[in-house]
Structure 1
């Protein structure tokens, strides 16, 4: 251990680990973490938005601790493990003389700092990317069956972390096309597919809901250079903070002299190029390119070891960056350090305000898969996200949580209203007021599924057939629901919703039969706009806002 990791390195590493553990314990969870904590309450091979690795980390953390650390403990260990792997991936023997520089550079990466303690899908993605590259480097030096098997398992672990991991696998293969002629490499792929089969099976059983959402159902916006492409470029800068010039200059100056360095360069340019091209179709998010931290760190630290002048400037900017990031870390814990801004980690207060009003009454949040789990995490009380046509589907749309609150008295919380039985306001001068009302007998039918037999719909065709499948165990009276059609533009943005006139194909039917499909004859009402591209069927029940009860169906032009 001492030969590979000098004592100085281990002391720095221990400091990094303890810092992240303390940060984890005293920093409130962010909304996404609360959502993934909700995942972990019902373990599965997949979830609406992501593969299950993030839920596994939280479940393991909860074995050792409660509260925030019970969400993040495994992430702090993975972060320390990632640092160790990065150290091992750098071959320059002079690195032992610049251990402080190693950690200063590590600390300068903004999102890497965040994923040092936050539990998000990118946390295991970073660790398994580093581990995959380390094993791949060993395989290049000495191809053998144990390493091939390990590569297969690690490819599966990457894909269990986040779908973006496919870019890591693809660009490493593209950097060394001779792998396509290597039987061991093909066995590694087969092992990866076998290990990943449970998630593939989950996708199949759930009608590929995750893939459909990310590729087809996600709302978008018209392209603008500033909002899409320039925003992406700024994300590339933000990931690496004040030291970003060093990272990209090192990438530019690196001339691959071996297959492993070539893999790092291909991976870096590949990820940058892939998401740059994607900006012409959709807006990117900063964390989408987080995997760049692994190859760029290795290339940059290696470059700095060989360039004394660059090291001096790196230290100066690195110290400034470290001070700023320490202050930001402190602010995440103690909001008054930056009074104008309230961040997600300061959300515990609003959950306590709401609990003081409603007690242990279950809370239904309208259109907020973020607030519902946050409330449950901090109060231990039941909550649910009821999603309508103005929002999007999420994990609450496909799991069994709706059944847990049926026919109960609930507190219904929304930010669309301006009156109600009660209200509360989160901290912050500019925070909006949320209104709530009590419903004595809550009934929701958001799992009713509408579909047609054709791939497109014609708005002018008369007497078309609509199918509604009722997955519930009880019949649902037609008098309790209202059928609507929503019109969407090219970017799947809602433009208007209209009541949909219908008659049952079977005369005399007054209900949707349990576990059965009922057919209706419909005629589409004329929309106000002409430039529409999709429709969605939407059902309202018991005076609630109309839900999301079908996929987006193209309109025949």
Structure 2
């Protein structure tokens, strides 16, 4: 508290203005699709979710206690953003800093994604906040390690990991900057506290067959390497996160020396993250927000450099002001689309299309095929429940694949919205040109959790070898085989579907007509012949009641 009272009033004035601006922005800007998805998380609190740890859902849940609507999703992001700025200020030791408060706020405000996460509620929001918490605690730990500070640091390490799995990079590179921590008993205590606090998520992962880890490591969509899209795109992201100030920000990084362990940690963290994702760019497209962690150490590094270098101080302030003006204009455009002329962002028109579909279908459940984005957005703006995202072999699994949302729509009359509908009963065209095609289905039945298990590690393509497959029925009811069709989806080396062919597997036990509830049935089949080239994998898929095939088996490599 003593540190907070030493902060000048001018600092709190700028902070209050920024906080109020973020509150207003949050209230008048429609949700983006990822925010709607994380709002859906928060409707059923758990220790983990398909794509991410649970911290983002907790932020939404807490926000909903104070407000409704968009602010009920974003309020805690505004709070964390304001506190984060205080934490960044406290990590700067230069005694001249009080003379340059406005320069500090221009620096922070001019960082594009750091600005955006001042109100958007995404996993990176708590990641940024707890990175600052961890670094400030580590700064005090270096001065005087003790039992209390070790416990606090351990809690923040766990909070980092509860925010996003990328947080492991923060912890790892700080450790790498000071290997003597491996012999420090208080550092080991911090690790023990972090692991203890993280046990509920470890258990959730175990209970859910490590679904999140498998997705991020093996199943996340990817494509063929492109130097322009991947590696050049990575360098474009390095510029985008700082805008016009980027030359001076990176110059500050190059000029800063690790004269003490804390500055060394900041440098290691920045270079470590940048090198890690540079190497990753040769395998997959690096999303801009993946490198946002470096904004935290670079605020401290850049501002310290500004205080020591008059030219950097002047140019970062001038270019930062231009950045700020552009950002304010774009933020206004997020809330009011006409300012962006013909450009539609995902925060535009969602309430309108959701209400238009509700007016058409009434209060019956709505199922969106292959859209974990549209399903929660529709539910948020219409307050309609249940909604469901039914995923087929051309998409990917998500939270709707592992929760109980399918059970809530089974057996009901539903509106089914799919871009694959050939003869839709109704359509709706968004202002940005997006088209929704829907039809009505009575007594809807789907069994997307049927699991097809093939034990072989690799199969020879176009062979006549009989392959064993186990079909596990996790439902509390027998499923008539007449309702099901089985198929094989061939995929390329990047797991993009190439061809899907129907198969007729044969039961290896006595003749069976059903998949028994909570039981496994053994079948054999032969891979259908294909003339397609560049086949890297196949997947066993199942169609129920003439729906498109689902995602029932894992991708099996073929020779």
How far apart are the structure 1 equivalents of 2:276 and 2:545? 46
Match of 2:478 in 1: 475
Deviation at 1:315, TM superposition (A): 2.1
For the aligned residues, what is the CA RMSD?
A: 1.1
Query: What whole-Å deviation, never above 9, does each CA across 1:113-158 have from its counterpart, x for those lacking one?
Result: 1100010000000000001000000000111111111111111000
Match of 1:233 in 2: 235
Q: Does 1:421 align with 2:391?
A: no
How does 1:446-485 map onto structure 2 within 5 Å?
Answer: 446-459=448-461, 460-485=463-488
Could you tell me which runs of 5 or more consecutive residues in structure 2 were left unpaired when the two chains were aligned.
Answer: none
How far apart are the structure 1 equivalents of 2:134 and 2:505? 56
How far apart are the structure 1 equivalents of 2:455 and 2:326? 58
Q: Does 1:163 align with 2:171?
A: no
Match of 2:416 in 1: 412
How far apart are the structure 2 equivalents of 1:448 and 1:418? 26
Query: What whole-Å deviation, never above 9, does each CA across 1:430-466 have from its counterpart, x for those lacking one?
Result: x132210000110001000000233333442522211
Q: Which of 267, 270, 273 in structure 1 is aligned with 2:272?
A: 270
Match of 1:15 in 2: 17
Q: Which moved more, 1:329-338 or 1:411-420?
A: 411-420
Deviation at 1:307, TM superposition (A): 1.3
Match of 2:359 in 1: 356
Match of 2:318 in 1: 316
Q: Is 1:501–1:524's contact at 8 Å kept on the other side of the alignment?
A: no
Match of 1:246 in 2: 248
Query: What whole-Å deviation, never above 9, does each CA across 1:72-112 have from its counterpart, x for those lacking one?
Result: 11110000011000000000111100100010011100001
How far apart are the structure 2 equivalents of 1:323 and 1:269? 29
How far apart are the structure 1 equivalents of 2:273 and 2:10? 34
Deviation at 1:226, TM superposition (A): 0.3
Q: TM-score, normalised by structure 1?
A: 0.98
How far apart are the structure 1 equivalents of 2:351 and 2:423? 24
Match of 1:400 in 2: 404
Q: Is 2:454–2:553's contact at 8 Å kept on the other side of the alignment?
A: no
How far apart are the structure 2 equivalents of 1:363 and 1:20? 33
Deviation at 1:418, TM superposition (A): 4.7
Q: Secondary structure at the match of 2:457?
A: coil
4+ aligned runs moved over 3 Å, structure 1: none
Query: What whole-Å deviation, never above 9, does each CA across 1:447-490 have from its counterpart, x for those lacking one?
Result: 00000233333442522211000011111111101001111111
Number of corresponding residues: 554
Query: What whole-Å deviation, never above 9, does each CA across 1:393-443 have from its counterpart, x for those lacking one?
Result: 000000000000001010000122353110001122xx1322100001100
Deviation at 1:334, TM superposition (A): 0.6
Match of 1:33 in 2: 35
Q: Is 1:415–1:432's contact at 8 Å kept on the other side of the alignment?
A: no
How far apart are the structure 2 equivalents of 1:552 and 1:528? 19
Q: Is 1:539–1:546's contact at 8 Å kept on the other side of the alignment?
A: yes
Deviation at 1:306, TM superposition (A): 1.2
Q: Which of 315, 329, 332 in structure 2 is aligned with 1:330?
A: 332
How far apart are the structure 2 equivalents of 1:418 and 1:228? 36
Match of 1:550 in 2: 553
How far apart are the structure 2 equivalents of 1:165 and 1:384? 31
Q: Which of 494, 508, 518 in structure 2 is aligned with 1:491?
A: 494
Q: Secondary structure at the match of 2:107?
A: helix
Q: Which of 540, 548, 551 in structure 2 is aligned with 1:537?
A: 540
How far apart are the structure 2 equivalents of 1:502 and 1:418? 29
Could you tell me which runs of 5 or more consecutive residues in structure 1 were left unpaired when the two chains were aligned.
Answer: none
Q: Which of 513, 519, 522 in structure 2 is aligned with 1:519?
A: 522
Q: Does 1:439 align with 2:445?
A: no
Deviation at 1:3, TM superposition (A): 4.3
Query: What whole-Å deviation, never above 9, does each CA across 1:197-217 have from its counterpart, x for those lacking one?
Result: 110111111111111011111
How does 1:138-177 map onto structure 2 within 5 Å?
Answer: 138-177=140-179
Deviation at 1:530, TM superposition (A): 3.9
Q: Is 2:92–2:300's contact at 8 Å kept on the other side of the alignment?
A: yes
Deviation at 1:503, TM superposition (A): 1.3
Q: Which of 373, 376, 382 in structure 1 is aligned with 2:376?
A: 373
Q: Which moved more, 1:343-352 or 1:296-305?
A: 343-352
Q: Is 1:27–1:345's contact at 8 Å kept on the other side of the alignment?
A: yes
How far apart are the structure 2 equivalents of 1:521 and 1:87? 65
Q: Is 1:218–1:492's contact at 8 Å kept on the other side of the alignment?
A: no
How far apart are the structure 1 equivalents of 2:422 and 2:96? 65
How far apart are the structure 1 equivalents of 2:281 and 2:496? 18
How does 1:189-208 map onto structure 2 within 5 Å?
Answer: 189-208=191-210
How far apart are the structure 2 equivalents of 1:183 and 1:492? 46
Q: Secondary structure at the match of 2:469?
A: strand
Query: What whole-Å deviation, never above 9, does each CA across 1:235-262 have from its counterpart, x for those lacking one?
Result: 1111111111121110011011100000
